[in-house]
Amino acid sequence: MGDQASDFLRQGAAWLCAYFGGRSPLPRLPSLVPSGTEFQKAVWRRLVAIPPGMTITYGEIARGLHMPGASQAVGQAVGANPLPILIPCHRVLAAGGKLGGYSSGLRRKRWLLAHEGLAWIS
């Protein structure tokens, strides 16, 4: 494994330890640019910008991308996220603040949101 990949893994591991340890502020992660379509990458960039303890809806992401009718496509891009937690798709809710889906299961999504202080979300 190259030095750059080793550095990324070390930084990712440190970030995960800080996140699950409840430390704040979290260390900075290197830029995350997984493979995907340009639309998926645009959605994932929006996800990375959501701070811990905050949420956004699929519709808000679609409107932020100047594609107000693309909520379902946003949901598909969120579901295709290859780096859950690091690219925080658990912070995306359905319309009306409903939980929506999560690729790792709703129980984990609830736990992650509660870990970030959002236990009120059902």
- Determine the 3-state secondary structure of 56 from DSSP: strand
In a domain, residue 10? The reply is: no
pTM: 0.89
In a domain, residue 18? The reply is: no
In a domain, residue 3? The reply is: no
The residues, ordered by sequence, that sit 6+ positions from 41 with a Cβ below 8 Å of its Cβ are 33, 34
Give the per-residue pLDDT at 3. Answer: 79
In a domain, residue 70? The reply is: yes
Residue 89 annotated to the active site: yes
In a domain, residue 13? The reply is: no
- Give percent of the chain with pLDDT exceeding 90: 70
In a domain, residue 16? The reply is: no
Domain extent for 63: 35-122
Confidence of residue 121 (pLDDT cuts 50, 70, 90): low
| Residue of higher predicted confidence among 2 and 49 | 49
Instruction: Copy the structure tokens of residue 92.
Output: 């995306």
In a domain, residue 78? The reply is: yes
Domain tally, the chain: 1
CATH number of the domain to which 49 belongs: 1.10.10.10
3-state DSSP: the chain helix, strand, coil percent, rounded to 5? 50, 5, 45
| Residue of higher predicted confidence among 4 and 70 | 70
In a domain, residue 57? The reply is: yes
Confidence of residue 110 (pLDDT cuts 50, 70, 90): very high
Catalytic residue among 62, 86, 87, 89: 89
Give the per-residue pLDDT at 30. Answer: 78
| Residue of higher predicted confidence among 25 and 59 | 59
